[in-house]
Amino acid sequence: DTEVTQTPKHLVMGMTNKKSLKCEQHMGHRAMYWYKQKAKKPPELMFVYSYEKLSINESVPSRFSPECPNSSLLNLHLHALQPEDSALYLCASSQEYGLGGSMNIQYFGAGTRLSVL
């Protein structure tokens, strides 16, 4: 089973709202990722968590706040977003971070399509 589940599938929010995106995996993976994908563009890495610790923050604005409460869950808290933040937000997981071999295959969820009005 290579399933990564993301909720909600769609989200519309105003610029003053606070919302959260949720990602869950039960594959025993210890690395989890957030990507942002604008229309007709490839995914861009935002954050990497390894063993529930933030390993990579790709200079993402503070209005995006990731959280990894346990090894199976990854949240992305959103606050005071801008219309240009509208995108597909993808979560992924892999067995480990920073190692090669089969452990670095990332499995993706279906994403949350976010619209900021």
11, 21, 23, 92: residue in contact with other proteins (rule CB under 8 A)? 92
Q: Taking the complex as a whole, how short is the minimal distance between the CB of residue 79 and other proteins, in angstroms?
A: 24
Q: Which two tokens stand for residue 89?
A: 């937000």
CA distance 91 to 3: 11
Q: Binding string, 20-49, against other proteins, x = CB under 8 A?
A: -----------x--------xxxx-x--x-
The amino acid present at 72, given as its one-letter code, is S
User: How many of the chain's residues bind other proteins (CB under 8 A)?
Assistant: 29
Q: Does 102 bind other proteins (CB under 8 A)?
A: yes
CA distance 31 to 97: 6
What's the alpha-carbon Rg for the chain, to the nearest Å?
Answer: 14
Is residue 16 classed as helix, strand or coil in its secondary structure?
coil
The reply on whether position 15 binds other proteins by CB under 8 A is no
SS3 83: helix
Question: Contact positions toward other proteins, by CB under 8 A?
Answer: 2, 31, 40-43, 45, 48, 56, 88, 90, 92, 94, 96-102, 104-111, 113
